Each structure stands twice: as structure tokens, then as C-alpha cells.
Amino acid sequence: MIGPQTLVFLLIGASILLILVVVIRPSITASRQGKIIAFLALFIVPLVAAGVGASEHMERSEQTQFCLSCHIMEPYGRSLYVDDKAYIPAAHFQNHRIPADKACYTCHTDYAMFGTIHAKMEGLHHVYVYWFGTPMNPIRLYQPYNNRECLHCHSGARSFEESPTHTAMMGDLKSNKISCATGGCHDTFHNVDQLGHVKFWKPTE
Amino acid sequence: MLPKLRISGVLLILGLIVEALSLLWNNAFSFMSFVVIGGFLFASGMLLFLYSLVSSKTSAFDN
């Protein structure tokens, strides 16, 4: 089975071969067919190859491995292995309540209209600041964490809906008046400044 | 027109090579290489090709 990456490489290879035909023998553009080949080789096919490549890169940028490739994110990656279920990201990651290979993206994207585009633009901003600017220290969210991102999965789940605590404040939770993250209930997150004092979980191979 | 076509082709090939290389790794550096270096080479190659079409006295589409 040919994977998406192999397809991209095949497309790039075919595109390079087509361009080489025009580069080595530009005189073919004298004929009508040659002009069509040149237009395909130098415009349409590279445009498609670049588009497919960009799409592949955007897909990969959702992966945990991608987010943790910046040195500054290393402690956040380690915090996913804290052996304490009070740590919300660690508990979600270790128990596969979120896809482990897209852990950062799953919780830090916006589940709203154009949320994916918004998340990608913020991601581009992060990369820009990391390479060309000065990242904030300590890292903070741009905006307070929205309950919408928690409710995207938890809303409708039996364990969430039947919890008396949740039921009592369901309206306020859904309207974001009480924050899941800072309302005093689930407020232990990455806490990277505490990582020197915690126990870590070692996954078995 | 022909030298412009050749330069345009070479720029596009370089852009495609950068794209292929950037896809070998999954990190922020490869992504930035694709966007900045690859994007620059792609844009230059395509714009030069389009310019060669409109600037040539005997345009590629005249016949």
C-alpha cells in the first residue's frame, strides 16, 4: 500500500522529470504541444506538488512530535509522563483519552468555526517567534482556556453528564462562566516548574 | 524567452528538492525550510515563467 508521503515523493519526482524536459530542450515550446507541456511542467504540476506538500506538512504539524521539536516545549512533553492523575494533560495522554500522537493539538486547537485555521495561524506564529523572536518565559496561553475545548469530548459522555457536581453547574460550564481549568476543580496542568519534584510514569515497551 | 524558461525550471526543481528534503523530517525546522526557502524558490520560478509569457514579443501562446 502506497502511503501519502510516497505519493508526494512520486509527484515531486514526476514533476522534476517534466521540468527537466523543458530545461534541457526549451526549443520544444516552439510547437503548440510543447507550449502546453511547458505550461504543465512549469506551472500546473509544480503548483499541485507544492499544494500536496503543504497539505502533508500541515497534517504533520498536528503531531505531538512536531510540537516537541522546539527545545522550549521539551518540559511540556515531559509533563505528559507525570505519574499523578491530578495532572490533567498527563492523565489524558497516558490513558489515551486523547490521541497520543496528536496530544498537544487535540487540547490546544479551537473547536469553533475556522478553529483549525486559527490554530494553524497560531502555530505559525509560535514557530516564527521561536526562530526569529523572543519566546515568552514562562509560556502562557494567549487567552484563558475555553471550556468549549473540554466539552468537545466530555459533553454527552455519561461519566460527565451524570456527575452531580457537573449537573449542578452545567449551564455555567457550557456558557464558560465557570472555567473547568481555573474554577478550583481541574486546575493542575503542565506545571513545568514542579517537574523536579514529581514521579514519572515509564510506559512499558 | 528561452533563458527565462530555463532559469524558471531550475528554480522550480530546486524548490521541489527543498520540499522533498523537508518531508524527510517532522520538526519545526523542516517546516520553516519548506515555507521560507521552498516557498521563495517556487514563487520565483513560477513568477519568472509567467513573466516570460507576458514579456516575450512572440509570446509562448502566439501562433
A94 grid coordinates: 497516558
Sequence spans of domains, chain A: 4-60, 71-197
Q: What is the pLDDT of residues A20-64, one digit of tens each?
A: 999 999 888 889 999 999 999 999 999 999 999 999 998 999 999
Q: Is B16 in the A-facing interface, judged by CB distances under 8 Å?
A: yes
Which pLDDT value is given to residue A197?
Answer: 93
Give chain B positions within 8 Å (CB) of A46: 12, 15-16, 42, 45-46
Give a yes or no: residue B22 inside a domain: yes
- Asked if A63's CB is within 8 angstroms of B28's CB, the reply is no
Report the C-alpha gap between A24 and B56 in whole angstroms: 20
Compute the CA torsion angle B25, B31, B33, B38 (nearest 10 deg).
Answer: 110
Query: Which of A8, A9, A35 lies closest to A22, judged by CA?
Result: A35
Average pLDDT over residues B30-35: 91
Q: Provide the shortest C-alpha distance from residue A55 to chain B (in Å).
A: 11
- Asked if A47's CB is within 8 angstroms of B5's CB, the reply is no
Q: Provide the shortest C-alpha distance from residue B51 to chain A (in Å).
A: 12
Going by pLDDT thresholds of 50, 70 and 90, the confidence category of residue A142 is: confident
- Asked if B17's CB is within 8 angstroms of A16's CB, the reply is yes
Give a yes or no: residue B61 inside a domain: no
Q: Which of B23, B32, B42 sits opposite A131 (nearest CB)?
A: B32
For the ranges A2-16, A61-75, A119-133, B2-16, which has the lowest average pLDDT? A119-133
- Asked if B6's CB is within 8 angstroms of A19's CB, the reply is no
> Which domain covers residue B31, as residue numbers?
2-55
Give a yes or no: residue B8 inside a domain: yes
Q: Are B26 and A11 in contact (CB under 8 A)?
A: no
Percent of chain A with pLDDT over 70: 100
pTM: 0.82
Q: Is the ipTM of this complex over 0.90?
A: no
Could you identify the residue written with the cell 517556487? B42
Per the structure, the count of domains in chain B is 1
